[in-house]
Structure 1
Amino acid sequence: MEALTLLEGKAMNQRVLNMLYTLNSIEKKQREDFHYLEEMPPNAINKELSKKEKMKVLNNYFFKNKDIYISKHNRFAPYPTHSHTFLEINYMLEGEAKQVVNGKALILNRGDLLLLDVGAEHSIEALGENDLLINILFRNSNINIDFLKDLRRSRSVLYDFLLKSPIKANEEQNYLIFRTAKNNKISQIMDEIIEEYFLKKEFSDAIIKAYLQILVTNLVRDYRISDQQPQNKRRKLVVDVLDEIDKNYKTITLQKIAKKYGYNKNYLSNLFKKEVGKPFSEIVIQKKLTQAHILITSTSLPISQIIEAVGISNKSFFYKKYYDFYKEKPLADRQHNLINI
């Protein structure tokens, strides 16, 4: 049995791993006949919703006197289709897990993380003895799939474009999967959360909450969205140009981009506006303003220095555009953010 989770030279606490691998009473029974044994008390299931949805719907029973609930998924029997009234993270600590989420089959490998929004439906095939799936439930209604997408969108003109693009009509966007096996930082955060919870250390609730904020921020930073639309030549060009804007917004010009990709400047300008809905220059200004907003609300740098840092030379132009975009002046925006911290 492989029981070491190495990250940045640190092995996960062996005591915790031993606890997680040890069979509990439900697992012992499920290993005998591989039939699912109901583990939830009746008051953990929303009977009205379950009857309506024709599946088990788990409610907020788990959050008595706490905002976060962590458990090991019981092995040796398939878990039936169900949904939640809260946000759930499935983290594959060891081994693999086969799931069906909203009718789509997927496999979680060691180190993968699945984020399930309220209402997402999923079932889990039987786990083997060497499979450890950790469930993290939290009821912070301010954190959801749309929250993650909006955070990513606010920092990237390419993601803003892709997220606004139509998706398949039958595809629900209430879950995200993160292939984080090679991300040591995510592994380290998850190990710390698991150790804090199962070792019941002093102040563990407060520490876990802090780690979850760090986890969510790191997931947003690494979040990638695939282009759902057919990759014709024109769309691929626009996606490439938006990516160039995200990376080189300080010095980018339409002339430079047209020359790089071998297109006439006027043709590229018209194509970009038709596909994106806004002129090239407006998207560049949008990117500069969002970067300025990040610096204004997260640092104490002088506004004049920030204006220069994002590649804008005209201060009056910046102040007007910033107010038009955020409906607030830069210094007021900074003060408002400090009040909300």
Structure 2
Amino acid sequence: MDEDIKRELYRLNNMEKIQKVTGQFIMDHPKKSFSEENGNMKLLNEYFFKNKDIYVSKHNRYAEYPYHSHQFLELNYMLQGECRQIIEGKEEMLQEGELLLLDSGCRHLIKATGDHDILINILFRDQNINLEWLTGIKKKNSLVYDFLLNSTVAGNRMKKYIIFKSANIPHIRQILEQIITEYFRDEEFSTKIITLYLPILFTELVRKCDTYLSDEVKNLHSETNNVALNTLQLIEQDYRDITLSSAAEKLGYNKNYLSNVIKKKTGSTFTELVNKQKILAANLLIESTSMPINDIIEQVGFQNKTYFYSLYKKEHQMLPLQKRAGI
């Protein structure tokens, strides 16, 4: 990141100077920027996006930011340090390099941060990017997400936020820091460049990051559901050459027990799930690379090309080259 911008982010602004002395929160936006109803503060589109579709700011340190929600999506990027937040009643810790995505309407409170805690807020109103879109992408390429998001656990619903564990993924941090740099430099075409970065950022996040999307779902699951979940996770990792016997050995279950649980909980046999993951992996390569189809078939672990084509057509109602051509 540009060193001048980093120094400016660390410099105390006027509100931080007061908050550091008093410890009391000072609203950093005018009255017209939010509404209040039943004690809930809601930040409004009209103020933040009057002239642009993206709004970036540094979170003011030293005082607790009270419960509030937004009419738009918000990203919190922990550039340096850490911060605690209460999100929809649950305490979460955001560590350096991690990213929090809050859906519109999600209520959260930000605990007071200190000298070395730099939290960056990135607000945007792209209606095409939301939690449903993100999980839809993930679900297309993940047996685990398909299982969790279709869980029949009573009262289950998708969370209103996601924490992306992006601290150790330099490429994602580079994209975020480039967005911040472009915004604060405010040069010609900066807004356009940031707008182009966003879908790249989210696609990278979905592809590379572990998330906390379904913590509660996992906790609510019965033992047999967790057996199924652990098996699906193993299939995602080792789908190229995994077998029922090797999975049972790794997970410490009887082979017949594991087979029965998988069938009961997912409606598919172990082999069907392995093939589904192979087709998911193949389709991602078909859509995102120019790799020859025969090489893709070999890479995802199919020995029989005819069998691959039969499964692929059944899943996608077209052949791989037709899918690649967008027919």
Q: Please confirm whether the aligned pair reaches a TM-score higher than 0.5, indicating the same fold.
A: yes
**1:179 CA displacement:** 3.8
Aligned to 1:4: none
Q: Is the 8 A contact 2:62 2:113 kept in 1?
A: yes
For structure 1, the residue ranges without an aligned partner over 5 or more in a row are 1-11
Counterpart of 1:40 in structure 2 is 29
Query: Residue in 2 aligned with 1:153?
Result: 139
Alpha-carbon distance in structure 2 between the residues aligned to 1:256 and 1:13: 50
Tell me whether 172-181 or 113-122 shows the greater mean CA deviation.
Answer: 172-181
Give the secondary structure class of the aligned counterpart of 1:228. helix
Once residues 160 and 117 of structure 2 are traced to their aligned partners in structure 1, the CA distance between those partners, rounded to angstroms, is 25
Q: How does 1:116-131 map to 2 (within 5 A)?
A: 116-131=102-117
Q: Does 2:66 match 1:80?
A: yes
1:187-198 correspondence to structure 2 within 5 Å: 187-198=173-184
- Give 2:322's match in structure 1, choosing from 307, 311, 332: 332
Structure 2 distance, partners of 1:252, 1:268, is 14
Q: Deviations over 1:157-182 (max 9, x none)?
A: 23322333356848760111234334
Checking the alignment, whether the CA contact within 8 Å between 1:112 and 1:179 is kept in structure 2 is yes
Change beyond 3 A, Cα 1:262–1:133: closer
Cα displacement string for residues 256-314 of structure 1 (whole angstroms, at most 9, x for unaligned residues): 44566676654432222012221112212211211121122112234344334333344
Q: 1:134: how far off?
A: 0.8
Q: TM-score under structure 2 normalisation?
A: 0.84
Deviates more, 1:197-206 or 1:118-127: 197-206
Compared with structure 1, are the counterparts of its residues 40 and 263 closer, same or farther at alpha carbon in structure 2 (3 Å cutoff)?
Answer: closer
d(CA) in 2 for partners of 1:97, 1:329: 49
Q: Does 1:13 align with 2:2?
A: yes
Report the number of matched residues. 321
Aligned-residue offset at 1:119: 1.0
Distance 1:305 1:197, change over 3 A: same
Q: 1:316 Cα deviation (Å)? A: 4.4
Instruction: Name the amino acid aligned to 1:60.
Output: N
Deviations 1:69-106 (A, max 9, x none): 10011233322211111110111223332321111222
Aligned to 1:185: 171
Verify the 8 A CA contact 1:168 1:228 in the aligned structure 2.
Answer: no
Q: Which residue, out of 57, 61, 72, partners 1:71?
A: 57
Check conservation: 2:149, 2:158, Cα contact below 8 A.
no
CA RMSD of aligned residues (A): 2.9
Query: Helix, strand or coil: the match of 2:85?
Result: strand
Question: Alpha carbons of 1:243 and 1:105: their partners in 2 closer, same or farther (altered >3 Å)?
Answer: closer
- Which ranges of structure 2 fall in alignment gaps of 5 or more residues? none
Match of 1:311, SS? Answer: coil
**Could you tell me which amino acid in structure 2 is paired with residue 25 of structure 1?**
N
In the TM superposition, residue 144 of structure 1 has moved relative to its aligned partner by 1.7
Task: Indicate the percent of aligned positions where both proteins have the same amino acid.
Answer: 45
Flag the 1:140–1:223 CA change in 2: closer, same or farther, 3 A.
farther
In the TM superposition, structure 1's runs of 4+ consecutive aligned residues that sit over 6 Å from their partners are none
Which residue of structure 2 aligns with residue 27 of structure 1? 16
Pick one of 273, 276, 287 that aligns with 1:297: 287
Q: Distance between the aligned counterparts of 2:259 and 2:184, measured in 1? A: 57
The equivalent residue for 1:56 is 41
Q: Does 2:234 align with 1:275?
A: no
Matched residues in 2 for 1:172 and 1:252: separation? 30
- Asked if the contact 2:227–2:261 (Cα under 8 Å) also holds between the matched residues in 1, the reply is no
- Letter of the 2:127 counterpart: S
Question: TM-score normalized by structure 1?
Answer: 0.81
- What's the CA shift for 1:235? 4.3
